[in-house]
Structure 1
């Protein structure tokens, strides 16, 4: 989607970059690439979450933030029960791919909301308590970055991460 020539175009561009990952954050695609689905329910010793639990938590929370950003009629979830899957393993062999597809779709929807020049990024959401789209987009980017980092740690501990091909192993681009 084109950002347009509105006064908030630079802010929209920065938010879109945050949502996409990269720069200082690992992107979603890199974190889930090549994951062996048959290992998605494995929990490393001493850690509380499996890759499946982290993926589903990312999907559920992203959807919650998106729903809240779009409407006062969003379905309110109960913490923590509604924010985590009931099992460390997916219910069937297709659940991993469905969760990834839903995450991508919701991320696109949040990106579309942010990129739309008709969206007032800074206006308080009428149904909130001071939240704005800019705040929700930053919250989403921050939450995703945190849990994608956890997913990489879990993958490393399970022996399922190749640091040599990781974007995180590359030096940061010179921004000067």
Structure 2
């Protein structure tokens, strides 16, 4: 990997992990009162739990698409959003967060060891770079929504 490629991958990794111009996923959920995970504020279409689980599902889908030509994406939009406003069990919450973290780690590993400009053989022009930017864009949008809901619920620093 040449130096320019290393610099680009390092910058994309920072973008994926957040914390520069945007709050990170972990900043957005840090110290969240568990009773607020399933609260859907007036005029908001979803709860924090639904946003977290949506991030998990969409990020997993983009990772799997990036590495597996046989991957079948969930049905849009029904299978990308949980129907329940709150996690049924604490393990659902912690499991979603662990999967978000492990899938992100796996995607960054893929990013570091791929030709990020090479179109994926099974796609229609997508590249690892495009998927990385899509994950970063998608996650930062929904992380902002988590923070907005926390502000509405008076649970943000």
TM-score by length of 1: 0.85
How far off its partner does 1:7 sit? 4.7
Counterpart selection for 2:155 from 156, 160, 163: 160
RMSD: 1.2
Aligned-pair CA distance for 1:105: 0.6
Alignment pair present for 1:112 and 2:100: no
- Name segments (4+ residues, structure 1) moved above 4 Å: 4-7
Where does 1:86-125 land on structure 2 (aligned, <5 Å)? 86-116=83-113, 119-125=114-120
1:24 paired with 2:21, answer yes
Q: Matched residues in 1 for 2:123 and 2:24: separation? A: 29
Distance 2:77 2:106 in 1: 24
Q: Could you tell me which runs of 5 or more consecutive residues in structure 2 were left unpaired when the two chains were aligned.
A: none
Match of 1:54 among 46, 51, 55: 51
- TM normalised by structure 2 equals 0.95
1:65-103 CA-partner distances (Å, limit 9, x unpaired): 000111111132110011000211112222111111111
Structure exhibiting the larger radius of gyration computed from Cα positions: 1
Give 3-state SS (helix, strand or coil) of 2:8's partner: helix
More helix by share: 2
